[in-house]
Amino acid sequence: MDVVSPELNSLLPDEIMDTEAIIMDDDPPSESPAASGQSQPSDDSPVPMETDVPAVPEIVSLCSDAPPTQLTQAGTTSTPTGSTLCNTTSATQLLLTSSTVSSSSLTLRPATASTLTSTTPKTTSSLSRVSLTSGGLQKLSAPFTLSANHQIILNKVASSPGADTARSQGTTTTTTTPGGQQFMVTTIGKSGQPIVLQLPHTGSKSASVQGLGEAKANPQHFKVVTVSSASQVSTLQAQQLKTVQIAKKTQVSSAGPIKFVFTKAVNNKGLTAQTSVSNVITGRVLSTSSPVTPPRTITLSETLGSSSSSKIAISPLKSPSKLTVVSVASQVPNSPQKSVSLPLNMAHLGHQILLQQSTATSPAKTMKPVQTVTVGGVGAPQFKTIFPLSTPSNVQQIQVPGSRFHYVRLVTATTGSSTGHASSPITNSSMTAKPMVVNTTQVRMSVPIVPAQTMKQVVPKPLTSSGQVLTTQTQQRLIMPATSLPQIQPNLTNLPPGTMLAPGSGNMGYAVLPAQYITQLQQSAYVTLASSSGFSTPTGIQTQARLPLNGLSTSGAAFRPRKPCNCTKSQCLKLYCDCFANGEFCQNCNCTNCFNNLEHETDRAKAIKACLDRNPEAFKPKIGKGKEGESDRRHSKGCNCKRSGCLKNYCECYEAKIMCSSTCKCVGCKNFEESPERKTLMHLADAAEVRVQQQTAAKTKLSSQISDLLTRTTPAITSGGGRMPYTFVTKEVAEVTCECLLEQAEQAELNQQPQATAERMILEEFGRCLMRIISSAGKTDCPSINC
Total chain residues near DNA (CB under 7 A): 37
Q: Nearer to DNA by C-beta: 648 or 701?
A: 648
- Pick between residue 86 and residue 575 the one whose CB is nearest to DNA: 575
Does residue 640 interact with DNA by CB under 7 A?
Answer: yes
How many Å apart are CA 452 and CA 98, to the nearest integer? Answer: 38
Q: Specify the residue, 640 or 727, whose C-beta has the smaller distance to DNA.
A: 640
| Cβ atoms of 511 and 447 closer than 8 Å | yes
Q: Does 329 bind DNA (CB under 7 A)?
A: no
Could you tell me if 295 and 382 are in contact, meaning their C-beta atoms sit under 8 angstroms apart?
no
Strand, coil or helix: 494: helix
- Residue 723: name the closest of 772, 768, 767, 779 by CA: 779
Told to check if 658 binds DNA by CB under 7 A, we report no
Asked if residue 563 binds DNA (CB under 7 A), the reply is yes
Candidates 64-72, 452-460, 504-512, 651-659 — which segment interacts with DNA by CB under 7 A?
651-659
Q: Which range in 134-142, 314-322, 511-519, 638-646 contacts DNA by CB under 7 A?
A: 638-646
For DNA, the closer CB: 441 or 568: 568
Residue 341 C-alpha from the chain's centroid: 20
**588 contributes a contact to DNA by CB under 7 A:** no
- Comparison of 622 and 633: residue with beta carbon closer to DNA: 622
Q: Work out whether 581 is an interface residue with DNA (CB under 7 A).
A: yes
Across 620-767, the runs of DSSP E, i.e. the strands, are 623-624, 634-635
644 counts as binding DNA under rule CB under 7 A: yes
Residue closer to DNA, measured from CB, 538 or 621: 621
Nearest to DNA of 470, 572 (CB atom): 572
Per DSSP (E only), the strands in 453-550 are 500-502, 511-513, 527-528, 548-549
- Distance CA(641)–CA(583), nearest Å, equals 25
CA distance 454 to 473: 11
Is residue 622 near DNA by the rule CB under 7 A?
Answer: yes
**8 A C-beta contact, residue 3 and residue 527:** yes
Q: Which lies closer to DNA via its Cβ, residue 636 or residue 707?
A: 636
- Tell whether residue 578 is a contact of DNA (CB under 7 A): yes
Q: Is 318 in the site for DNA (CB under 7 A)?
A: no
Q: What residues does 339 pair with on adjacent strands?
A: 358
637 binds DNA (CB under 7 A): yes
- Specify the residue, 305 or 496, whose C-beta has the smaller distance to DNA: 496
What phi and psi values does residue 767 have, to the nearest 5 degrees?
-65, -40
The residue from 86, 212, 378, 610 that contacts DNA (CB under 7 A) is 610
Residue among 177 and 644 whose Cβ is closer to DNA: 644
From the CB of 661, what's the least distance to DNA, in Å? 12
CB of 680 to DNA, least distance (A): 14
Closest by Cα among 230, 211, 159 to 190? 159
- CA-based angle 489:495:496, to the nearest 5? 155
Measured CA to CA, the distance from residue 196 to residue 242 in angstroms comes to: 12
Helix 755-776 with 731-750: angle, nearest 10 deg:
150
Of 16, 618, 658, 773, the one binding DNA (CB under 7 A) is 618
Check residue 570 for interaction with DNA (CB under 7 A): yes
What lies within 8 Å, CB to CB, of 534 at 6+ separation is 383, 540
Taking contact as CB under 7 A, which single stretch among the options 33-41, 411-419, 499-507, 563-571 is the one that binds DNA?
563-571
Q: How many residues does the chain have?
A: 787
Q: How far is the CB of 664 from DNA (least distance, A)?
A: 8
Give yes or no for residue 649 binding DNA (CB under 7 A): yes
| CA-closest candidate to residue 14, choices 193, 218, 313, 257 | 257
Stretch touching DNA by CB under 7 A, among 87-95, 423-431, 632-640, 670-678: 632-640
Does 561 engage in binding with DNA (CB under 7 A)? no
Asked if residue 175 lies in contact with residue 144, where contact means CB atoms within 8 angstroms, the answer is: yes
**Residue 697: in which H helix or E strand, if any?**
helix 676-719
Chain positions contacting DNA, by CB under 7 A: 563, 565-572, 574-578, 581, 610-611, 614-615, 618, 622, 637, 639-646, 648-652, 655, 666
